Every structure is written in C-alpha cells, then in structure tokens.
Structure 1
Amino acid sequence: MKKLLLTLALCMGYLCTTVAQTFIKTEVKQSMRRVADWQIAHYNKAVYGDLNWVNATFHLGLVHWAAIAEQTDKDDSYYKWLLRLGNRNYWQVDQRMYHADDICISQMYLYMYEKYKKKSMLIPTQARAGWVIANPPSGSFELNYGDATTLEHWTWCDA
C-alpha cells in the first residue's frame, strides 16, 4: 500500500510539473506573439527610420520570432513582413560608414539570407564590410562628438 501511494504521489508530481511547464511555454509563446503583433501594428519608421539601430534591434528579435512562428504554427507572416522591409530598403545599411549602429540591420539580413539564400540580401552588407576593411579609420580612439573622425572607430560596447 505504501508503494502504491508513493508511486501515485510521484506520478502526480510528475504530471503536475509537466502540465505546468507546458502551460508556461504556451503562455510565453502567446505573449511573444502579442508583443510582435503590437510592435508591427505600432511600427513607426518615421521616428528612427527602418535602418536605425533602435528599429534594427526589433527586426533582429522579430527574425528569431519568425523562425519560431513558422516552425511551430506554420505562420510565415513575420518573415513576409521582414522581406517587405528589406526589399523596400534594398537590403542597405544606414549611412555612417564606420558606425556600428548603422550596420546593426545587417544582423537581420544575415538571418534572412540563411533562410532564403538570395545574394541581394547580403551585397550591401558585404560591400560595407569590404570597404571598412580596405579603408581603416584614421581618427583617434578618444571619443569627441565635435570631431567626426573620432566616431569612425567601432568602439561601442555592443558593436
């Protein structure tokens, strides 16, 4: 009898833990979808622009969510949204040649290339990287916003 009760208790504990984990995963996934949908519905490229690092960090998170949504729910709408964004910007990076913030968008492009294998998604990123390698910055490492040459180096902690 003690063995039966112990077995039942262990089974109940296991089942409760498994059900609780499944419920939590489902909740997290639902929250992720709500956040992604809200961000897309309230997307404002006018404030920062599509290519700015602020929006680029969202795009990078969205490309990871797109993979989950497609794999688990067969929902490719997030990938389609990112394709439209990349296409309307011709897969370009932002303007400043050396500034890490201005190539942040390339991270999303690399993931999109992994999925679609379209060379056009990489050409601007490769061109920028090649240019920077061929033209090393000459400015000082001492950051001075009044001297544009000190902004050339990729000295940002998140670069």
Structure 2
Amino acid sequence: MTDARVGGTARLLGFAGLAPAFAAVILLALGERLAAIVSLAYPLLILSFLGGMWWGFAMQTQRNQALLATIAVVPSLVALALGAAFLLTNGSGWTLVATGVALMLTLPVDRWLVTSGIAPVDWMRLRIPLSLGLGALTILAGALFGHPVVEY
C-alpha cells in the first residue's frame, strides 16, 4: 500500500476546479442559455481527465495493470458519447444530468485504487467532494437548462 499523500496545492487546485461549473450554473439561473455549453464541456473534460489519471496509476503498477488500463479508457469514451448526444439532440438537458451521474460513478474506481494501494491513502478525501460537487453542479445545470440551446 502506498503512503503517498495528496498535497495542499493539488487539493487547492482541485477545489478551484469547481469554479467554472459554479459560474456556469449561476449564469444558467440568470437565463444565459449558452452557459449550458460550459456546463457540459467542462465536466466532460474533467471526466476524460479522470480516466487519464487512472491510466497514469495503471502505468505505475503491475498489479491489475491490464484491468486498470482498460477501465481508464472508459471515461473518455463516455465523455465522447455524451458530447455527441448533446449535439445530436440539439442540446438536451438530459445529457448534463447523465454527465453529472457519470462523474459520481467514478468514485467506486477511485475507492478501488485506494484499497489496492495504488492511489494515495487520502485520495478519497479529495475525490469524494470533487466528484460529488461537480456531479451535483452538472445535474443542477441540466435541471436549470431543461431544453435545447443549440439551434441549427
């Protein structure tokens, strides 16, 4: 088991990463419909980023490397599918809700990384509030948005 810890700078930057989603929700609440694009694009980037972190963890260990590398590509594929769904439905709010749920569903993998000794021992102290926070803000954006913003 690793005795690595999440540093203060990483923690600060992680929580600062909630600011774009929070700002987009405020703009949506104020009627700025184009904020839905930020409300979707940013969480999709973060979802893909999480997969990249998992890939990095996989490359540092031989234990379950094939399984973890396989799991690590899933967030990017989900992000691609949800982004495409947003475009194909002319900006449906359900894609925001699904993206928020997808972010929250990353937590079991993060927990497995900790229990396997691959991630830092205090990883979940960072991941739980960030995944739940960004997931909830994205779901809220979907509820506020509720109908198409992209018109062709």
Structure 1 and Structure 2 fold alike (TM over 0.5): no
Question: What is the TM-score of this pair, normalised by structure 1?
Answer: 0.28
Largest Rg, 1 or 2: 1
**TM-score when scaled to structure 2?**
0.29
Higher RCO, 1 or 2 (CA under 8 Å, sep at least 6)? 2
